[in-house]
A and B are shown apart, each in its own frame.
Chain A
Amino acid sequence: MSAKSIHEADGKALLAYFLPRSPALTKESSATSFVPAPPRLASLTFPDDSTATVTAVLDAAEATYPWLLVDGARFVAKPDQLIKRRGKSGLLSLNVTWSEARAWVAARAGKQIAVEGINGYLRTFLVEPFVAHAQENEYYININSVREGDWILFYHEGGVDVGDVDAKASKILIPVDLESEYPSNATIISTLLSKVPESQHATLVDFINRLYAAYVDLQFTYLEINPLVVIPTASGVEVHYLDLAAKLDQTAEFECGAKWAIARSPTALGITAPTTGSVINIDAGPPMVFPAPFGRELTTEEAYIAELDSKTGASLKLTVLNPAGRVWTLVAGGGASVVYADAIASAGYANDIANYGEYSGAPSETQTYEYAKTVLDLMTRGSPVEGGKVLFIGGGIANFTQVGSTFKGIIRAFKDYQALLHTHGVRMYVRRGGPNWQEGLRLIKNCSEELAIPMEVYGPDMHVSGIVPLALLDKRPVGISAFGTSGTISVM
């Protein structure tokens, strides 16, 4: 997947490093000199909620980030896990001393909470210096990408209650052709900054130019700062980005990976790296982290499949939606897997869909075996349910995936789970096409007879997901016969 969210701390680290460095896109020279403060980002990760772990992490933070212990310093502490509207969920500790912040974090670290209906564990926190400012100094800025270019949205009244910025904010579209169509400072000021005191125009336009240059340079696809705080000082203004949400284009890793890494290197973050036990990174810093959304920590099985997926050119995906669900799928192909989920949902079984996933890109027999085994293991846990369970072994007409060999992998898994499949009353429905499909279907049909698993098998003359209404609604398409049986019409 291309656009992926990143930690707030990483977003801030990227900006701190690249605002002064990314090559300028505007042809006008900047009116102000921009010296960003060194980043002060104490990022804390808690693998579990035991007192020992929490204390150890917090103690380590005090050693790594000595600025936490400066007398009289005030801080902000918050979870850094892609949670929106943290303030409203009580997940923001503002204007506190380190000992208060420490206690606040310790009370929440590793704990399970519900945020807007989603349950998840608080694992990662960010502690940074508190910036005292007045409400009128808060702005809102957002850059996002569309087909025609990148929109910059600016609103002069930022903050948590910014509201519907799509309707309220001033906007400018930066076209794709940056070389010849990048707007002038005057245009930016007139379109975006009309409601901002004129004294801040020069600084803000420079900041926007720099921010957008970094957005392009680092291949962000989304960047929102709210509030952006601009505090007038004797010599000009100070710019702070207090809260930030960002997405990077993960597919641009080969172009930007080194830049993403260097901004997050210990040197760039102003910390001393631990000298022992450090791993060798391929770039001058740790590789970018793309965290799972809050509440979507991978289960053991999902993590196992993700691990398998990362080791092969084939694609293996698994999301468990409802472990108690009665309808399971083992579907080949990204498109087909969606079609299957659609068909199951529209047959009225949305709450019974146990998993979403797919295997494709010519996985080997062993990889398919591991994948199938994981699904069979999940579906045969617990005590059997009334009416049994359904497994769809589906897929489109493959381009190159060998149906024979992938089905051999699935059959191996059946043999491992034969008894459990019987215990749980699993019925199976198969539909597949592609290279050597006849052999694959023959093998699986023979296997079902050998293992006494109830199974209906269809080839490409069945609609790709036609076995779903057939199994769940008993809708049998006319004129389509199961694999290995003769045609429906017989001449007497």
Chain B
Amino acid sequence: MASANANISRFEPPTAPASPLPAYQLFHNKTRAFVYGMQPRACQGMLDFDFICKRSVPSVAAIIYPFGGQFVSKMYWGTKETLLPVYQAVKTAAEKHPEVDVVVNFASSRSVYSSTMEILEIPQIRTIAIIAEGVPERRAREILFKAKEKGVTIIGPATVGGIKPGCFKIGNTGGMMDNIVASKLYRPGSVGYVSKSGGMSNELNNIISQTTDGVYEGIAIGGDRYPGTTFIDHLLRYEADPNCKILLLLGEVGGVEEYRVIEAVKTGKITKPIVAWAIGTCASMFTTEVQFGHAGSFANSQLETALAKNAAMKAAGFHVPETFEDMPTVLSDLYQSLVKAGTIVPKPEPEAPKIPIDYAWAQELGLIRKPAAFISTISDDRGQELLYAGMPITDVFKENIGIGGVMSLLWFRRRLPEYASKFLEMVLMLTADHGPAVSGAMNTIITTRAGKDLISALVSGLLTIGSRFGGALDGAAQEFTTAFDKGLSPRQFVDTMRKQNKLIPGIGHKVKSRNNPDMRVELVKEFARKHFPTTKLLDYALAVESVTTSKKDNLILNVDGCVAVCFVDLVRHCGAFTAEEAEDYLNMGVLNGLFVLGRSIGLIAHYLDQKRLRTGLYRHPWDDITYLLPTVDSLGGKGRVEVNV
């Protein structure tokens, strides 16, 4: 077996510094970037894109995460894995990766200002994409002012980013991998586009891939009022880039940035053919004022309306369709004419790459299966609402099913009749506490006084529960049921137990007797007789009691015995369980569960009580312990100690 490490690809930084890039080129197929913020999905998307573009090294050099303690993050590289270093500071990351010149900043709107200002101090960084929405306008302006001063290109804020097919993908641009493949973004085409909205950039990728040889580069500048770079900045880059043949501008109502593009076309700064459309033409036709999705998409004057922009762009010689739906036709016609003119020479189509598909997504699509390591059949926290055995938590309260109802859902995965739920609650109430002197409570008290926490104190009490303490319930249920099922008469049962020298669990009380009955037992008997369909085992146990009390007055059916036999009557005859289920639950020790749950109330009470009383460490007095040590003589010279009591 190869070790897990053998499947991890590692990438060394380049040894020679890259030659300086032309100003129009922000990204190429060796571009290396930092991702600021813990964004495993975006990083993985970038790496998947790199992989299908057949890049030799991943585009993400490292992750910067100021809250991170973790120093690597594991990612997939194709079907293998790779490790991305995680740094807490931009400066350290930059020192370790001098080849990185792009930062994809996923910092939140609250922290994006400080992090971007910090990144702008790193001279090697040429491009920063800011993803956050809701960056205050004043801060956005300060960022773009400083970036201009430093000669850094800012994409965003409030954008998905952009994509350069075959080279580089910013964060989540392009959507899922199958969409990226469907839009052929794994290899460059000839159309460079710029849009505001990131959502519409997926549509542009789609339209361009269907009507031309594909996208050369696409940037979404973001919908805020002050984007770091605007349409003109990117269109001028595309104009300067000899590989980009067609420009595409998707503008929007609001702002005047489209007019700067018109100006550039008029002055001859842009000569390549340009297809354009401004969305939001409907705004002029509404009588009411509608705020569209983007902060910047609001016409402050006639000039800023989409209709005026489309008309002006058309007048300036842009290829403007009649409606947005006609854009594919316009683009297709333009492309075909450029192919005919020889400006664009279509390249042979490479084979569509295989997409590495994520396990979770494949599962979502129902393509794969695997055996689960765990199965749970009682509760589900994944949906809109917490479910107890299928019952939404709001219904639990609406129907007021009580703690007994919740227990029946979670313990038995079904609703029990109301009296059964009430009986469960009754048992909890009866077993909640039995004074400080019993061994469980004693342990809890001593542990509490040793200064331990609630859980330790509770658990030390619970751990004493077993066949001697608190276990009478289970034992009683077992013995009475076995005898009853075997058809032993009560007298035969008592005789058999005596012959075996066994005490009958659930029989006998220290002080109570037939004439001085235990009120707890009376309550349980009364409840069972009143509500249960039958009380066969209780009746049997009471017959046994009449045998034992004839021998000694205090050999009564005690509360443990009474609860136990009533519980057996309940599960056997309430109608909610089959005979097998009933036996199964009894064998699983569900009665012990009842006792543990009930007594936990009391044990916690003892813990709180001791804490409240500020009691100190307990030390048992010497005079209460009989010390019987062997004398030195009896050691027998061999170091063995034998104590005969």
Contact = CB atoms under 8 A, between A and B. Distances in A.
B422 to A, nearest CB: 34
B325 A176 contact: no
A149 B145 CA distance: 10
Which of A2, A216, A293, A321 counts the most chain B CB atoms within 10 A? Answer: A2
Interface in A167-194: 175-177
A463 interface: yes
A236 B285 CA distance: 53
Given A145-B141, A149-B141, A252-B139, 14 more contacts: A177-B145, A219-B138, A251-B135, A251-B136, A252-B138, A254-B110, A319-B290, A338-B280, A350-B285, A353-B282, A399-B172, A399-B198, A436-B365, A468-B325
Interface of B: 109-110, 134-139, 141-142, 144-145, 160, 172, 175-176, 179, 182, 196-200, 202-203, 206-207, 210, 223-226, 252-253, 279-282, 285-286, 288-295, 297, 306, 322-325, 327-328, 361, 364-365, 384
Interface string A431-463: 001111001000000000000000000001101
A396 B295 contact: no
B282 A335 contact: no
A434 B176 contact: yes
20 contacts: A2-B225, A176-B145, A216-B138, A251-B134, A251-B135, A252-B136, A252-B139, A293-B289, A321-B286, A337-B292, A339-B324, A342-B279, A342-B323, A344-B282, A397-B179, A397-B203, A398-B202, A402-B364, A464-B203, A465-B324
Interface string A249-266: 101101100000000000
A433 to B, nearest CB: 7
A181 B459 CA distance: 69
Contacts of B253: 338
Contacts of B110: 254
A45 interface: no
Nearest to A358: B293
B393 to A, nearest CB: 15
A461 B197 CA distance: 20
Nearest to B108: A254
Which of B282, B291, B328, B364 counts the most chain A CB atoms within 10 A? Answer: B282
A469 B200 CA distance: 19
Given A1-B291, A2-B295, A356-B290, A341 B203 contact: no
Instruction: Sort chain A's interface into a size bin.
Output: 35 or more
B306 A342 contact: yes
Interface in A1-53: 1-3
Nearest to A398: B175
Interface string A366-379: 10000000000000
A396 B199 contact: yes
Nearest to B175: A399
B255 to A, nearest CB: 9
Given A350-B285, A468-B325, A360 B199 contact: yes
Nearest to B113: A255
Contact of B364 (A3, A317, A397, A436): A436
A343 B323 contact: yes
Contacts of A399: 160, 172, 175-176, 198-199, 202
B138 A338 contact: no
A336 B282 contact: no
Contact of A3 (B179, B225, B252, B297): B225
Contacts of B282: 338, 341-342, 344-346, 350, 353
Contacts of A398: 175, 199, 202
A333 B292 CA distance: 11
Contacts of A145: 137-138, 141
B205 to A, nearest CB: 8
Contacts of A149: 141
A221 interface: yes
A219 B324 CA distance: 37
Contact of A433 (B139, B145, B196, B206): B206
Interface of A: 1-3, 145, 147, 149, 175-177, 216, 219, 221, 249, 251-252, 254-255, 293, 296, 317, 319, 321, 333-339, 341-346, 350, 353, 356, 358, 360, 364-366, 396-400, 402, 433-436, 439, 460-461, 463-466, 468-469, 475
A337 B175 contact: no
A342 B280 contact: yes
Contacts of A461: 210
A3 B224 CA distance: 11
Contacts of A321: 286, 288, 290
Contacts of B225: 2-3
Which of B290, B306, B327 counts the most chain A CB atoms within 10 A? Answer: B290
Contact of B292 (A334, A353, A439): A334
A336 B172 contact: no
Nearest to A469: B325
Nearest to B138: A219
A350 B293 contact: no
A456 B73 CA distance: 46
Contact of B325 (A317, A319, A343, A356): A343
A433 B144 CA distance: 34
Nearest to B327: A463
A296 B134 contact: no
Contacts of A2: 134, 136-137, 224-225, 295
Contacts of B138: 145, 216, 219, 249, 252
B314 to A, nearest CB: 15
A344 B286 CA distance: 12
A446 to B, nearest CB: 16
Contacts of A317: 293
A251 B179 contact: no
A178 B583 CA distance: 82
Contact of A334 (B136, B286, B293): B293
A400 B199 contact: no
Which of A145, A249, A398, A434 counts the most chain B CB atoms within 10 A? Answer: A249
B200 A335 contact: yes
Contacts of B323: 342-343, 346, 469
B289 A460 contact: no
A350 B284 CA distance: 10
Given A335-B279, A350-B285, A463-B328, A400 B384 contact: no
Given A350-B282, A399-B202, A435 B197 contact: no
B160 A343 contact: no
Contacts of B384: 364-366
Given A333-B199, A334-B197, A400 B172 contact: yes
Nearest to A402: B364
A367 to B, nearest CB: 9
